[in-house]
Amino acid sequence: MTDASFRLVDAQNTAAGLPFKALVDALETGFANGCVVPARHHHQLEKTGEPVATLLLMPAWAKPDDQDQFLGVKLVTVVPGNAARSVPGLTSTYILYDAVTGQQLCLMDGNVITSRRTAATAALGARLLAREDARSLLVIGAGRVGSLIPDAYRAVRPIEKVSVWDIQPEAAQKLVRSLNERGIIAEVVRDLETAIAATDIVTAATLATEPVIKGKCIRKGTHIDLIGAFTPRMRESDDAALAMSRAFVDTDEALHEAGDLVQPIEGGVVSKEHILGTLADLAHGKLKGRTTADEITYFKAVGSGLADLVAARMVYKSFYAPDRISATTLRPASVE
């Protein structure tokens, strides 16, 4: 019998249950195997005297023949009016269920699930696309996600030096300080274009609406990793950066959501076919990532409910059910 009690995992323990190396491995298997990810639902919440808020529902569940039968939903509230209250604008919760019985298993911190699975998905993109000898990393945007990028990348590549750029210099300084305190060589970038031209892996996790990564600065062999720009109007890279690259996305949603792709495709700079495939294609081995040391690789992610489910399952199993193999033993006899 499965344990039917409903568990609560706080932010600290959710993070402890998601070490990067293991999470990247689990995501690689998860993207290769796939799961059911229906369209996310957006609900607008009208407010008096403040901007409209949003409730987002992001479900995902195992395919019927998968051994691990889990179902999960991420619930996200986005309340722009919280800025005036000095309260964070985004709150996220993850609920994990047994997909066979529908019983609730665990509630965990959705903010931690999101930021760690996002950094780990970027690292998986780099494992499949960046040069194996990539030793330098530039992080553009040192916020919730960006500050996790060095640790996530150090799990997949021999990163020796981290450079950090942020429009808020104190955010870059804070990340550099915390890396230095842990013995990691890191510095705040003074000139962004020079730093891009001198780095093996360039990651952006910003709220930029104009390109911060320009093709003219990118040297041969670089891996470009884009995490922000989640609407067609937002951008982190320019047309040239995409046009000169071997380009991949986390899921096909990126082709509709990300300004980095939508704008150059609509503008006729590149065709849709220029985007060669998804993380599932790469993880499954259907497509080859990097083919030469000199080519520039490009990975644009907009996030997937699959990655949330993989992470939530990992947290639950690590604390409560390390030996849980399958809930299929709970299937009614009539369907055996």
Ligand X SMILES: NC(=O)c1ccc[n+]([C@@H]2O[C@H](COP(=O)([O-])OP(=O)(O)OC[C@H]3O[C@@H](n4cnc5c(N)ncnc54)[C@H](O)[C@@H]3O)[C@@H](O)[C@H]2O)c1
Binding site for ligand X (CB under 6 A): 114, 118, 140-146, 166-168, 171, 205-208, 212, 227-228, 230, 301-303
Comparing CB distances to ligand X, the nearer of 302 and 310 is 302
Residue 263 Cα distances to 157, 236, 257, 322, angstroms:
31, 12, 10, 45
Q: Could you give the CA distance from residue 42 to residue 74 in angstroms, rounded to a whole number?
A: 12
CB-wise, 3 or 170, nearer to ligand X? 170
Q: Which is nearer to ligand X, 105 or 301 (CB)?
A: 301
Nearer Cβ to ligand X (100/301): 301
Nearest CA among 132, 88, 142, 116 for reference residue 15: 116
Q: Residue 240: which residues within 8 A CB-CB, separation 6 or more? A: 214, 215, 216
Residue ranges of E strands in 175-242: 185-188, 201-204, 223-226
In the bound complex, what is the minimum distance in angstroms from residue 88's beta carbon to ligand X?
A: 9
Q: Which is nearer to ligand X, 217 or 302 (CB)?
A: 302
Encoding tokens for residue 236? 């982190």
Q: How far is the CB of 172 from ligand X (least distance, A)?
A: 8
CB of 192 to ligand X, least distance (A): 8
Among residues 226 and 327, whose Cβ is nearest to ligand X? Answer: 226
Q: Which is nearer to ligand X, 68 or 250 (CB)?
A: 250
Nearer to ligand X, 62 or 229 (CB): 229
Q: Provide, rounded to whole angstroms, the least separation between the CB of residue 251 and ligand X.
A: 10
Which pair of structure tokens corresponds to residue 256?
Answer: 């509709």
The CB-of-151 to ligand X minimum distance in angstroms stands at 14
At its nearest, how many Å lie between ligand X and the CB of residue 280? Answer: 15
Residue pair 106/315 in contact (Cβ under 8 Å)? The answer is yes
Calculate Rg over the CA atoms of the chain: 20
CB of 85 to ligand X, least distance (A): 17
Measured between alpha carbons, how far is 280 from 160 in angstroms, rounded to an integer?
29
- Which of 163, 147, 170, 161 minimizes the C-alpha distance to 15? 147
Torsion sign (Cα): 197, 282, 318, 303: positive
| Positive or negative torsion for Cα 104, 110, 116, 119 | positive
CB of 230 to ligand X, least distance (A): 5
Please give the Cα distance from 324 to 3 (Å, whole number).
Answer: 10
